[in-house]
Structures are given as structure tokens and as C-alpha cells.
Structure 1
Amino acid sequence: MKYIEQLLRKKDNKNSWHYLPFSLFFFGIMFLNALLIKYSEVSTNDAIKMSIEKYGKNINFLINILPMAVLLVFLLGWVRIFHQQSILSLTTARSQVDWKRVLHGFCIWSVITLVFIGIAIISSPKDYELTFNASAFFPFLFIALLLIPLQTSFEEFLMRGYLMQGIGLATKSRAVALCTTSIIFGLMHLANPEVEQLGYGIMIFYIGMGFFFGIMTLMDDGIELALGFHAANNIIGALLLTSNWTAFQTNSIFLDVSEQPTISYLETFIQIGIVLPLVLFYLGKKYKWNNWTGRLFGRIK
């Protein structure tokens, strides 16, 4: 139980107000963007389609994901310079980053994602179209492998790193840090076209994934596993299957062409209520996690 507590040794990080400038900057941008979308005459999905028509899918993807890569550099620099905190302590409580954990998390979620997508395609083949185009796919593959890990790493360093540590230090509560960051993570996706298409029920998945990443971070004293899982979720999804109403409309291998896409609450329950707890149980056995109550709900001393 050292991931948050390790910062108590650093005088600068005892002042919770130090976390406000970057947080206000980022969420201020998010809020302004949400207002623009709400009062715009063009929906998010229509705006994406217009951008794709103008630039093509690969350049549109690059335009949308590149800012996250820049924000990652900005965040790490802010932590290092302003907080005088090492990037290592933002990442883990271990003496060095455990890259095997990152790879392990990536492999586990890649397999699970492939299984779910495979089942969907086999069970409803008419809803999916093979759209593989080598000349478009391989340039996208290069962009995706280069930038998606930076995008997902920014979200993990911000949510499970920066904010979880900051809220934990401010409230002295692991539960408050876990719940707050998980809910904020879900709300960050409100402007996604998936919400517009499928309804607010999709927020169950986003918030559920936020709790999943948060729980493994607190139990494992680091974000290495979350980095791997999150990267796998976005990379495999973007490369293998997309649609004309998702945030990532890419040159993927398959395209969802279902006429009236809706959220499957059964599938969501299986993913969030069964698969994720089983994965956490497996990780707990593998990495010998103990004292679940204390690590997730205990006070920060």
C-alpha cells in the first residue's frame, strides 16, 4: 500500500492545491468542447464524417489522437518540474517500472477483445463487412501502434496516476480516490459519438472500465497493468473493428454495418459483471494481492 503513500514523503505533494492548475486546464478544455458540441448545429458524428471526407480516415485519426500525445508530454513535464516528482513514482511504487506487467495486461485484454469481437462477427455475420484495404490499413497500423499507446498512457497517467494520487492525498481516502477518478473517467467519454448513437447506457461500460483500471492500480501499487489493458482495448478495437458512428472511425479490417445498432445490456453485464471480476481474481492470484478492503477502502496514513 505505497502507491499514494510514497508521496507523503515529498513536501511539495502534501499541498493538494498543486494539482489544481493542470486539472483545471484540462477539464476546462473538455468542458468548453462539450459546450461547443451541445450547442453546435452539427452532431459529433457528422463533424467526424465531414473531417473524414476532407482529410481521409488516417489523417482524421491522426488529427484527433495527436493532441493526447502532446498532453502526455505536457503532463509528465508538469509533474517533473512543478511537483518535483519523479515519473517513476507517478507510475509505480516499485523500484522500477515492471514492463512485464504492461505486456501481460496487454496480452490478456487483447485475447479477451478478440474473443468478444469474434463471437459478435460469427453470431451476426450480416452486421459486419470485411473492409480490409492493405494500402490504407498498413499506414494506419503504423499510426495506431505509434500514437494509441501515447493516448491511452495519457489517460492512465492522468486518471490512475495524477488525479488518483492527488485526490488520495487531499482526502486521505482510497475509496474517494477510486470512485472519483472512475466516474470522471466515464464522464470524459460523454461527448463520444457512441453515446449519441447507443444512449447513456454505454456509460455503464465506460465507468465500469474506470473502476476496473482503478482497482488494479490500487491493488498492484502501480499503473503498469492498467497501461497494458487500456492500450490493448484501444489498439485491437481500432485495428480490427470500427463503425460509422464511433469516435475511432478507422481503416480497420471489419466494419460494423448493422442498421440500428443498440447497446446489448446482456453483453455489457457479461463484460463488466463477470469477465472483469474474473480477470481481477486471476491477477490477484498471480500477483498475490491481499488485504483487498484495506487497499481499496482504507485511509491513507
Structure 2
Amino acid sequence: MFIEQAYRNRRNLIAYLPFPLVFLGLMAANFMVSTEDTNTIIRNEIARYGKSMFFFSNLVPFAILMLLLFFWVKYMHRQSILSLTTSRPEIDWHRIFFSFLVWGGFSTLLIFISYQSDPESFLFNFNLRPFLALALISLTLIPFQTSFEEYLFRGYLMQGIGLVSRRKWVPLVATSVIFGLLHGANPEVEKMGYILLVYYVGTGFLLGIMTLMDDGMELSLGFHAANNITGALLVTSDWTVFQTDSVLIDKSEPSAGLEVIFPVLVIFPILLFIFSKKYQWSGWKEKLFGKIVLPPVENQNPPL
């Protein structure tokens, strides 16, 4: 039912192109015109402005982009933000918070295990005042960053590609692959190699499957926010896209091996199992691979 929420937009499919094309074009142009590698740019900007200000300045544009996307959906597509978010009568905040707590707990546990198994690879970096500033920025702005990405990929593009393809697996695969490839410019990929894209694409599939099986984006919104907030607050390094005044600084030399594949093959299926039991998912084949059957378009304009 989630993709079918956008059924009125079938007459205006061309309107799905401008926003993502402009966004993707700006991302590609920024990557191509840069004369320095991403990590060098980040280090120079941090040296100039400091970690907190650099972090803040990188998150603010996502809040603006999310508002622009909402404006585009509401006034160009005449679609409500509720129907872009979920097929339920209202947004289920309990689902968002449950997903946030589950993945936040998983992430914290994995970081704790890594620290306990090899404490010499970490620098204890906790400093109250910088950390409080970081926490304020993270809790205020990271949800905008992660929500924009979710609304763009698991909402807007999932529904738009679904309207064109009429097959649910097509938007699932397309949005997951695009989502993963867009992370190719991250300094982690420069440091560890393109095998890291397996994790990013796998994360895209996890979020897409949760959205289709649950008929809404609430679980993906909670997961993505927890992932980035936990990472920003608890552990960063000098080669990641988030370089903050976190509690721990990872000083180890990164390597792309089992740690890249393990979450995709083991942890993500466990998460899907937890959510499927919690929310009693059924009909996996139909929800992930079935046809998209659209109802007749009503003559009257939908409410904004």
C-alpha cells in the first residue's frame, strides 16, 4: 500500500525528475570539481572553523533540502506529507522511537565490544563542554539530515519509480543502489576501498525492505537517525565523514573485510526478524516483488 499512496501522481510523472536530478547533479558536480580528496577538504575545514562549527555547517543544508522537498511534494504533486511517509492514518511515532532504540542499542553494544576487545585502538576523548555542544547539534540537526535522505530515497523516489515500473522490486533495487553509490564520495570509501559500498548498498536494501514490509517509512526514519547520532556522539576518526568531539576517537588503521560484510549478512537479517515479529509482517513475496495496482484517479484535487 505504501507506493500506491502516490497514485494520483501518475499523471504528473515528469515532475518526479527535477528535484532528484538537481540534487544528484549538485553532488556529482561537487565531487568532480574538487581538486583535493574529501579527507583533505574535511581536515582543512576543521582546522579553519573547528569541529563543531564544521559539523553544524554541513548539517544545516539538509534541513533546507528537506523543507524544499516537502514544498515540492505538496505544491507540485499536490500530495500530503502524510501519504509520502506512511499508509497509516497518521505517522506512528512509536515505530520511529522503537527503531531508534533498537538500532541505537545495537550500535552502542557493537562500539562497546570493539572498545573492550581492543582499547589501545581508541583514544578516550570525552570533554564535557565540546560534547554538550556536539550533542545539541546532533540531536537537533542530524534528524533533518537522515530524514531528508529517507524522504528522498525511501519516500519520493520509491513511490515515483514504483509508479513508472509497476513492480515493487524495481524501486527497492534502484533506490538501494543509488543510495549506496552516493556514499562513494565519503572519505571512508577513499580510505577502505569500494568494497565498503557493499555495506552502504546493503543498508539501502535494509531500509527499503523495512519500508515496503511495514507500509511506511517510520522504521527507516528511526534507524537512520539512530545510526548517525550514535556514530557522531560515541566514536569517530580522522578518516570518516563525521569528525566530531565524540567520546572515543578510533585510531586504528581501517581495513575492509569481515566487518563490512558481517552487518549485511548477520545483523541486518536479525533486525528484520525483530521488526517482523514485533509488527507481524506477512506476505513477503507480494510486498517485495508483487505488482503495483493503482486505483482510479479521483477527479477532485487531494487535500494538502
Q: If the TM-score is normalised by the length of the shorter chain, which range does it land in?
A: over 0.9
Q: What amino acid maps onto 1:144 in structure 2?
A: S
State the Cα distance separating 1:274 from its structure 2 match.
1.0
Which runs of 4 or more aligned residues in structure 1 lie more than 2 Å from their structure 2 counterparts after TM superposition? 12-15, 267-270
* Secondary structure, aligned partner of 2:46: helix
Pick one of 87, 97, 116 that aligns with 1:93.
Answer: 87
TM alignment of 1:1-301, pairs within 5 A: 2-8=1-7, 10=8, 12-37=9-34, 40=35, 42-258=36-252, 260-263=253-256, 265-301=257-293
Q: Please, which moves more after superposition, 149-158 or 60-69? A: 60-69
Q: TM-score, normalised by structure 1?
A: 0.95
| Paired residues of 1:106 and 1:229 also in contact (CA < 8 A) | yes
* Secondary structure, aligned partner of 1:129: strand
Q: Distance in 2 between matches of 1:251 and 1:63?
A: 15
* Secondary structure, aligned partner of 2:236: strand
State the Cα distance separating 1:19 from its structure 2 match.
0.1
* Secondary structure, aligned partner of 1:286: helix
| Paired residues of 1:14 and 1:169 also in contact (CA < 8 A) | no
Q: Runs of 5+ in structure 1 lacking a partner?
A: none
Q: Please, which moves more after superposition, 77-86 or 267-276? A: 267-276
Q: Distance in 2 between matches of 1:146 and 1:152?
A: 11
Q: Distance in 1 between matches of 2:44 and 2:10?
A: 45
How many positions carry a matched residue from both structures? 293
* Secondary structure, aligned partner of 1:289: coil
| Paired residues of 1:242 and 1:256 also in contact (CA < 8 A) | yes
Q: Distance in 2 between matches of 1:168 and 1:89?
A: 14
Q: Distance in 2 between matches of 1:71 and 1:6?
A: 22
